[in-house]
Amino acid sequence: MKILVTTIMFILSFLFAATPSFAYTVKQGDTITKIASENNLSIQEITELNPQIQNLNMIYVGDTVNTEPQKRTSPSNIVSYSDYKINLLARLVRSEAQSEDELVQINKQIQTLYAANLVKKVKPIKTKIASMEIQNYSKHEIDLLARLVRAEAQTEPFEGKIAVACVVLNRVESSLFPDTIKEVIYEPGQFQPVSNGEIHEPADEDSIAAVKEALTEKRNIVPESTLFFYNPDIATSRWLDSRSTTVVIGQHVFKK
């Protein structure tokens, strides 16, 4: 039994030292389709990993096929090595078993070692831009902006909602307007939802998502010079008609 433990530990150390690309030795009855399936690969992926094999329909026992394990992410941000490693490990040490009892012990050891050593925690990936931008604003400001987006662009496409949020952010950065989201939104005479009370209605999921997009990946969906927007079909004031248009999204026309 001590030999079994030594064998398992040796194989584990080999697996940890392996590079992202793994070598599989072709055995009797193997086909490329079978090998690809066992390693969670498509035919195209396994073909790209093995340019040295001229004809994938003709592989022979003893040939080396490169495979790449697929990592799976759980909701708790835990990434584990793919299950085929356990199967590979089990295959390699099963030949050491001299009885059914020893085989049971092997399986127990494999599972124990897998749980202890082959599970790694990873941190969620965040872009620098996303982290920096969102940290600049309080939760209250983000919620306030989302409420304005809901009120101003409830019937607009998602990109239109993002664009409305970007106009407010552009104003915050402009020397022509106040320096905070709250001050920009509550500046007298600027946004109808403030005067009619709609700003107090809770934001919906789309509006919250749009604000987050505006603060990160879609910050430039409208040019930085875009400081105004309106619906020309229902607007009672026409002063924006003469200003330069930067983009039109849905029913909203965005202006410099």
Question: Which pLDDT does position 79 carry in this prediction?
Answer: 37
pLDDT in tens for each of the 256 residues of the chain?
555 555 555 555 554 444 444 678 888 878 888 888 788 777 777 888 887 777 777 777 777 888 865 443 334 333 344 444 555 555 555 555 566 666 666 666 655 554 554 443 333 333 433 444 455 788 889 999 999 999 999 999 999 999 999 999 999 999 999 989 999 999 998 999 999 999 999 999 999 999 999 988 788 889 999 999 999 988 888 889 889 999 999 999 999 9
CATH, residue 146: 1.10.10.2520
Same domain for 136 and 235, yes or no, is yes
Same domain for 33 and 107, yes or no, is yes
Residues 6+ apart with CB under 8 A from 208: 142, 143, 146
**Cβ pair 57, 32 in contact under 8 A:** yes
Domain boundary pick from 92, 121, 150: 121
Same domain for 248 and 144, yes or no, is yes
For residue 215, the enclosing domain spans 128-255
Domain boundary pick from 121, 136, 160: 121
Same domain for 70 and 153, yes or no, is no
Question: Which pLDDT does position 80 carry in this prediction?
Answer: 40
Same domain for 13 and 88, yes or no, is yes
CATH, residue 49: 3.10.350.10
Number of domains in the chain: 2
Same domain for 98 and 140, yes or no, is no
The answer to whether the pTM exceeds 0.75 is: no
Same domain for 150 and 36, yes or no, is no
Same domain for 110 and 191, yes or no, is no
Same domain for 110 and 132, yes or no, is no
Domain boundary pick from 54, 86, 121: 121
